[in-house]
Structure 1
Amino acid sequence: MTHLSSSNDMQALIDAKNQWLYDQVDVQFPTPESLQGLTVYQTLNQALPSEAFTAQHHVAESHLAAIYLVDFHRLTIMFALLQATRCEQAAQQALLVEFFTQIIYSPPCRLYLGFTDAQPMAAAIVTCDGSSLLISDVVMQNNPIFTSSDEFVSAVVAKYQQENLVSGSIYIEYSQP
């Protein structure tokens, strides 16, 4: 695969993730706060760095056990609260929470949380195009399990691969420029 096609594949996954998120508030009666939250999200995601990611080959069982697929509303709220920590202002945090709590679980994206002592401490979005993955929107608080965001991302990839085949590349879009 050439660098250009790799870059195009990565950008296509980023575009798919962004469109999926934007579609979450493209409903008949979106709340004004969720639309404002979308604007905050778009501002946060302008020109974020992205690159190919090499996941760790061995992920500790304790790391896998700490990762959960977000598949019900209470976990969505936890995911939204972690994502809101990307902003410093309380008003922007509230808008991000409103935006992220509108999410309806559907392809091509899945949300994941990392827990320690029953508390959410890390979050990420996984976008799949059928062969390649994009891990994005990684937020991580200090915790005793994951010493780096790359370690958390590797665990998310390993958890995803327990139920899904990934034959293509894995990319990461960093949450901070």
Structure 2
Amino acid sequence: MQSQIDSYISAKNHWLSQQVDVEYPTPESLMGRKLYLETEQDVKYSVSEIESLLNNKVGLNVIEVDFHRLTILFAVLQASHLSDKPDNQNLIIEFLTQIILDNEYQLFLGFDGGEAVSALICKIDLDDRLAVLTDIVISKKAQNLFKTSDFASDVLQHLISKSLIIHKVIHPSWV
């Protein structure tokens, strides 16, 4: 199973990386990609049965990112989690705001009281009835209110409400 997990994560990182493989990428987006990929090396992933992840529902308003302004909110949340240095955060934001939305990978935000407080990337493999949840972050302000596993549960509930049949979930290992 570890090789399957590694394959999904490698494919996600490749998808993100190619977002700046354009004729004239900005130097900032290329540096942001490098910083992002460096942080990804330390993340460990696990696989769980979906039922074991559905108990932690917080009740956030889960929104699938479907326009650029939400992509910016996604990038800001990610950057604030990935680095404490404002210059590095700006580079990561420059990289992640280049994301072109598609059907293979979906970006999700969690809102509480009208404020974006959590974000993740999701890939659904309908053939394997599998969801891959990566890049799960919670804003510093909301970290005392709920955990990444809680937001994952809310997103999974959202996906199930759309009649998707999911049996297993690849996700960052909860610490």
The answer on 1:35 being equivalent to 2:33 is no
- Distance across 2 between alignment mates of 1:44 and 1:58: 26
**What SS class does the counterpart of residue 88 from structure 1 fall into?**
coil
Q: How far did 1:166 drift?
A: 3.4
Query: Is the contact between residue 77 and residue 101 of structure 1 (CA under 8 Å) also seen in structure 2?
Result: yes
- Counterpart for residue 93 of structure 1: 89
Query: Is the contact between residue 127 and residue 133 of structure 1 (CA under 8 Å) also seen in structure 2?
Result: yes
Give the TM-score, by structure 2 length.
0.86
Listed as ranges, the gaps of 5+ residues in structure 2 are none
Listed as ranges, the gaps of 5+ residues in structure 1 are 1-5
The answer on 1:123 being equivalent to 2:122 is no
Q: How far did 1:146 drift?
A: 5.3
Q: How far did 1:138 drift?
A: 0.8
Report how many residues are paired. 168
**What SS class does the counterpart of residue 103 from structure 2 fall into?**
coil
Distance 1:32 1:46, change over 3 A: same
The answer on 1:67 being equivalent to 2:66 is no
Q: How far did 1:134 drift?
A: 1.1
Q: How far did 1:47 drift?
A: 3.1
- Counterpart for residue 147 of structure 2: 148
Once the two structures are superposed, what CA deviation does each residue of 1:19-43 show, in whole Å capped at 9, x if it has no partner? 1101111112211111111000011
More displaced stretch, 30-39 vs 45-54: 45-54
More displaced stretch, 159-168 vs 36-45: 159-168
Q: How far did 1:59 drift?
A: 3.9
Query: Runs of at least 4 residues of structure 1 off by over 6 A?
Result: none
- Distance across 2 between alignment mates of 1:45 and 1:132: 21
Distance 1:161 1:16, change over 3 A: farther
Q: How far did 1:161 drift?
A: 2.5
Query: Is the contact between residue 57 and residue 151 of structure 2 (CA under 8 Å) also seen in structure 1?
Result: no
RMSD: 2.2
The answer on 1:77 being equivalent to 2:75 is no
Give the TM-score, by structure 1 length.
0.85
- Distance across 2 between alignment mates of 1:49 and 1:7: 10
**What SS class does the counterpart of residue 56 from structure 1 fall into?**
helix
- Distance across 2 between alignment mates of 1:81 and 1:164: 30
Higher helix content, 1 or 2: 2
